Amino acid sequence: MSMINYASREITCKLVYYGTGLGGKTTNLEHIHSRVDPDSRGKMISLSTETDRTLFFDFLPVDLGEIRGFKTRFQLYTVPGQVYYNASRKLILKGVDGIIFVADSQAHRAEANVEAMHNLYENLSSYKIDLDQIPFAIQYNKRDLDSALPLEALRQELNPGGVPDFEAVAIDGTGVFETLRAVSKLVVKTLS
C-alpha cells in the first residue's frame, strides 16, 4: 500500500521483483540503478551470501515526478530466490503496490519458475491479497540463451491469465525498463 506523507507531499510506492534464485531479479535492479540519473535515485543496498545470491533485498528509490502535487517515489525490492528464505520473501511483500515476476527462460528452470509463482500466490494470500487485485507483470529473462523455452510455452505455464509480459535479457538491459515502466504506470493508475 502506497505511503502518503502530507508534510513532505510525497507518495512512496513499493515494487517487488519476485522469482527463482539466479533468475535475474538483482540484475534488473543493477541495470536500472546504473542507468537512472544519480540525482533521482537513492543508494542501492544489497545483502548477499558468499555465493553472491541475494539474501534479503535490494532497495532503490526512484523519483517519478508528481501526481496531484505530490512527488512520486518508487522503492524497488527483490526477494531472495531461495525458498529457504520464505519468511523474508513474505515480509518483503508486505505493503506491496506492484509485482514483477522474473522468470528464468531456461528449460531446466521451468519447474522452479512454477514453484516460485505458486509461492508468490501463497505469500500474497497470507496478506489476503489476490494477485489480480494489484499491478502485476511477468518478465521472461535470459531470452538470449540457446536453452530458452519458446515464449508460448512460458506463457502457457506462467501466464494463462494474460497479464502484461515482456521478453528480456537483463544482463544487457533488454526489456528491463519496458517491464518497470509497464508496472509503474499500472501502479500510478491505481493512485489516480
Q: What is the pLDDT of residues 95-108, one digit of tens each?
A: 999 999 999 999 99
Average pLDDT on 20-34 reads: 92
* pLDDT of res. 55: 41
C-alpha torsion sign, points 20, 22, 28, 30: positive
Give the number of other CB atoms < 10 A from CB of residue 21: 18
Break the chain down into helix, strand, coil percent, rounded to 5: 40, 30, 30
DSSP 185: H
What pLDDT digit, counting tens, does each position of 58-71 carry?
455 676 667 778 88
Burial (Cβ within 10 Å: 0-12, 13-18, ≥19) of residue 90: middle
Model confidence pLDDT, tens digit, residues 124-139: 999 999 999 999 999 9
Name the grid cell of 108: 531446466
Q: Is the pLDDT of residue 182 over 90?
A: yes
Q: Do residues 29 and 106 lie in contact, with contact meaning Cβ atoms separated by under 8 Å? A: no
| Domain ranges, ordered by start, for the chain | 3-191
Q: Are strands 54-67 and 70-78 parallel, antiparallel or unpaired?
A: antiparallel
Given this structure, which CATH class describes domain 3-191?
alpha beta
> If 0-12 CB within 10 Å is exposed, 13-18 middle and 19+ buried, where does residue 186 land?
middle
